[in-house]
Structure 1
Amino acid sequence: MSVGQIVALLVGGCAVLYLVNRAARKIFHALVQPKGGDSSTSLYILAITALTVALAVMVFGYLNFEKIENLGTFGDFVGGTINPFLTFLTFLGLIATIIIQQKANSAASEAATKAEIALADQIASQKRQSFENTLFAMLELHNTIVTQMDVHRKTMETLYGRDCFKHMTTQLQNHWKEASPKRPVNNPARINAAYKQFYEKWRKDLGHYFRYLYNLIRFIDNAGVSPRYMKLVRAQLSDYELVILFYNCLTPAGFKFKHYAEKYTLFDNLDSAILFSKTHRNGLFDESAFDESHRPIKVDDKGNVIPTSP
């Protein structure tokens, strides 16, 4: 055999192996990952191929073993030829089964993970919706408490709602001017004495107002939600409500409220010009009560802590 014939034989053999390998890969992929999700067509082709090979071997053996005394040899030939082929097909089917099972397990695991995430999102959404429904109901009741306030004056018209707080602010300022005028304007004792006299007169309205507002803010704080909800509360407070709240926080009764004022910057919208002294803006509260940038821990609108640079 010449070199050219050997090269041609090798090239032809490689071509046949390439075609067989390509066809086998198509059949295998069609079996383990069918386009329509159904492997019946691929299994049918595989079964027909196996049956064709078996019949071809038997016909070949029958044609070459005509005598009856050669039937034993014929049986050995058929068994020795077909059995390895069938064993290979069995092994191939086992591999295909394992791959299909792995894909099914992977798909089931992915579906379970998605279902778990969807359930967690649904629960979180329900909790948020329940919280928001309660919050908006509390805000509505808070506004009702404010609108039901009234101040009856002998020679002037009656005040209602938030207009009452401007009148109360004037009353509190008068008490502050009269209380220990020789003491420094920033003296806590002077402020506390003035507020105590003021509160005795307005306890009926302000007691209910402050208790409810405090519990509203504590409800948001305990929920651990985004600070944007606290901004809704801040938006409800008028200028003179903030003034009354400002001085209330400086008394023993309002000390707990001061903590929330500094934590959530409740006086962000407070106009310092309407305070009883310009110096009251400084020193009586931590700066975080007026400016969010001074909070010890900063969070975004989603409630995530913003890391601070070292």
Structure 2
Amino acid sequence: MPKEETKKLRPNWKKRSFIVGALILLVWFFTLWSFLWGPDWINVGNRGTFGDMFGGLTSLFSGFAFAGIVISIFMQREELELTRETLEDQRQELELTRTTLEAQKAEMVQQNQTLGRQQFENTFYQLLAYFNTYIGEIKVGRHEGRINFTIWMNDIVQKWRQIRQNAGDQLSRESKAILETKLTELEIAKQFSDWFYEGSPSFHPNGSLFSKAPDGIHTYFRMLFNIFIYVSESDLTDGQKQFYIGIVRAQISDSELFMIFYYCLKPEGEQYRQFAEEFRFFKNLNVDNLLPCSGIREKEVNHFTFVDAAAFG
């Protein structure tokens, strides 16, 4: 039942007590008046008789006194009830205030998360824009931008095929020894990487295939590495990190993935390989674009086995 209806149904003890008290005072004043200033028909004898009549009313006045006590008890109970209602109202107000504060706190947390996400995205897209701008400014001869990576990859594949065709005559003794021994895949990967980037004679005496890479390729790797670090060290969830790296991966060409894959085989590319595995960066890599290794002496190696399968999604 609503509080307003409950209050309407409660007896008005204050009004009733006032009426009872007024009746008692009226009777008392009437008695005093009759003894002091009463009319002549009320003589002393009659007054005695009249007084004896009041003796019988003693129990009545005692009842009035008891009624007053009962009324006071009910009044106190009503006051206690009102006090409890007041305390309950205060408790509800405090609960409402606490709920409001919790809602405000949750809203502030959400706002901070949104602000942090916006700040992250601003920096992320700026880094990505700088990265793409830098790629667009790479110029080799008449070619600009990502086309240079495609030309470079095609040159590498063509030269590698020539090496495989002439492996019996052109490979050094050291190369033959390496290919014919039972090296682990990681050891072969390091040998291949040294030759691929640094021109080690372990695989071919004519030097590194990396010598034909576009100028500024090291800056390219550093800029992409900074994007990886920024996303990896952020407070984002794993799913959110995968989302943003997916944006980066969507803008990487096949020839760039080719180059990044082989860079992961270098000793200094160890962290690159870890990021590739963390972000499944080679998910879209066409392994058919990798350099074929079968047919070189008795050793058959698939290059994609040099990197953990997690990197391929």
Superposition TM-score, scaled by structure 2 size: 0.69
The separation in 2 between residues aligned to 1:85 and 1:224, in whole angstroms, is 64
Q: Structure 2 matches for 1:1-310, cutoff 5 A?
A: 26=2, 29-30=3-4, 49-59=12-22, 61=24, 67-68=31-32, 73=61, 76=65, 79-152=68-141, 158-173=142-157, 176=160, 178=163, 180=171, 182=176, 184=179, 187-188=188-189, 189-196=191-198, 197-200=208-211, 202=213, 204-225=215-236, 226=240, 227-277=242-292, 279-291=301-313
Give a deviation string over 1:232-259, Cα, whole Å, max 9, x none.
Answer: 1111110000000011110112121111
Give a deviation string over 1:9-59, Cα, whole Å, max 9, x none.
Answer: xxxxxxxxxxxxxxxx54xx2389xxxxxxxxx6xx699923322233235
Change in CA separation of 1:165 and 1:203 when aligned onto 2, cut-off 3 Å:
closer
The separation in 1 between residues aligned to 2:213 and 2:305, in whole angstroms, is 27
Q: Which residue of 2 aligns with 1:297?
A: none
The structure whose RCO (Cα within 8 Å, separation 6+) is larger is 2
Superposition TM-score, scaled by structure 1 size: 0.70
Q: Displacement of 1:78 after TM fit?
A: 6.7
The separation in 2 between residues aligned to 1:229 and 1:163, in whole angstroms, is 25
Change in CA separation of 1:238 and 1:250 when aligned onto 2, cut-off 3 Å:
same
Runs of 4+ in 1 over 6 A off after TM superposition: 69-72
Q: How many percent identity over aligned positions?
A: 23
Alignment: residue pair count: 249
Equivalent position amino acid for 1:286 in 2: D
Would you say the 8 A contact 1:147–1:161 is kept in 2?
Answer: yes
Change in CA separation of 1:268 and 1:256 when aligned onto 2, cut-off 3 Å:
same
CA RMSD in angstroms, aligned pairs only: 3.2
Give a deviation string over 1:79-109, Cα, whole Å, max 9, x none.
Answer: 4243223212211111111111111111111
Q: Which structure has the greater CA radius of gyration?
A: 2
Q: Compare 85-94 and 112-121 and name the one that shifted more.
A: 85-94
The separation in 2 between residues aligned to 1:205 and 1:272, in whole angstroms, is 26
Q: Which residue of 2 aligns with 1:306?
A: none
Equivalent position amino acid for 1:161 in 2: G
The separation in 1 between residues aligned to 2:21 and 2:246, in whole angstroms, is 88
Would you say the 8 A contact 1:146–1:162 is kept in 2?
Answer: yes
The separation in 2 between residues aligned to 1:132 and 1:211, in whole angstroms, is 20
Structure 2, gaps ≥5 residues long: 33-50, 164-169, 199-207, 294-300
Three-state SS of the structure 1 residue aligned to 2:133 is helix
Three-state SS of the structure 2 residue aligned to 1:229 is helix
Structure 1, gaps ≥5 residues long: 1-24, 33-41, 153-157, 292-310
Q: Displacement of 1:60 after TM fit?
A: 5.2
Three-state SS of the structure 2 residue aligned to 1:276 is coil
